[in-house]
Structure 1
Amino acid sequence: MEDVLRRAEELMENKNYEEVIKILDNVQAVEAYLLKAQAYLKIGDVGKAIEELEKGVETFPYSYSILSMKAEILENEGKLEEALETINRTLEIVPFSSEYRFKKARILFKLERYEEANIELSEVLRMNPANVEARILRALCYYNVGLRLDALSEINRALNFRKDEPLLHALKGKIYFETGYYKLALSEFKIAIHYEPNNPEHYYWTAFCYYNLKMYNEALTYINLALTKEEKAIYYILKALILKELKADFSKEIEIAIKLDPSAKSIIENLFMNRNMSR
């Protein structure tokens, strides 16, 4: 059996996925079920991958590896309740696994059950305080329930371990922005740009900071940079607001914004109600 499994691993490395499935047919081993499921995923057959893992669970009901892989596939497919049920079964077998607790927290987060996710993350961080991904997720949990200061504290702890994580700086910037500290927010978004220069959101938020600081020329520079990377209605709306403050024509920006997102028309009318906006 070991020779067959070794051969299957070689075939996986060489991307011979159909052959992997073929040679492992009727091989009853945890590794065989995992490899076959991986092979099915590689050829795009998610249903067969899950079916293979379910067969594996029938044969090896206490295999946390098989259950964990099944939970991850279900999560990726958006079947979050099933994924949660499966990861709970995994944790019944290995209750002290920080890896599987983190997976559970991630699923709970996607289900918008932020308080429950936070409980799991507390346990993950108790076992491994340097887990930056867990700290990021915990910060997002706090942020989504409106606990901005708790989120900020968690972000600062995470930055002690990973100063070059743009997501942390961007989230920190949003918290400062929402609490009216635009200069502090500006600093964080510029750091995020430094580490992730191709992300248009960082440029958008930088422009928004400048707009609120009434530095309209700088705001225009950064919103134009955002638009060179991606065109979004919200970017054009901000550009129109900036141009309005600069007493420049913004009708083209409004037209493009509505074309990109017709549902934004009512928002645009409220923002620009004092100006004639012919399309």
Structure 2
Amino acid sequence: MTVFSSQKRTAYSLWIIFLTLDFDIWEVKCTSVAEVDRHLQMGVQMLAKGQLHDALSHFHAAIDGDPNNYLTYYRRATVYLALGRSRQGLQDWMKSLDSKPDFTAARAQRAGVLVKLGRLEEAHIDLEHVLRKDPAHEEANRLYTSIEPLKRDILEAYSHVRTGRYNHAILILKSVIEHCPWDAALRDLRVEAYQGVGDMMSAIADIRVTTKLTQDNTEGYLKLANMYYQIGDVEQGLNEIRECLKLDPDHKNCFTLYKKIKKINKILNDAQEYVNNKEYEECVNSANKVHIISVDFQ
């Protein structure tokens, strides 16, 4: 009898423990849901106030608490887009659409970003999905009708550059890049056209944009350094080649150019000192050194 009573007491105690565990798990789960909702609400409020980095932090926390909520990914993608981080936004729209393929708002926004990136075929597919579900979608219709003309214009621009009709290419690319401002390849093409007509400053402006559009764009900084050197702004060329070496200290072409521009920059600074001190013969000698290095550089 004593053993039986002991077993009953043990069983009762275990039952109480299991009930407590279940209650604790339920309580934690509810707390977690409440916390996720709080982060979502705060994220929406911060977004409405234009406090984008704060909104992003709250959406990060909401996704950590509930990684399966398609709407949270959509909201975070919107913040990424507002911050100019389109590629991260695309990843979030992908996750949102993986969970809810018929989410028209996410697909329409993703199509808009794809057009800006120049990824026209992918945008075309998304827009067809949107218009099948919502034929009256105004923005989707506008984008959809723009894609084929854009593709034709891009082909024509490439043809003009290949055949040396640079002014025609520049004219076409101006309009195309207004629609696809985040397409680095189109800007590179326009750089070639600008160089063809001798407009180095416009070429520099486009390359500077590509260094922001393309991650770790060492080639972009190398081009910038070369162009600044060509127009005689050696100091700025030195700054740009340093940016290249920050990204890749072992970049052979950047390091070679860095050594030459650094040497020329020092000689030019010395020449300026000679001018200031009215040591004109030394200034002429410095100019000759620059000429020799420049000929060797070519």
Same fold (TM over 0.5): no
TM-score by length of 2: 0.39
TM-score by length of 1: 0.41
More helix by share: 2
Structure whose CA Rg is larger: 2
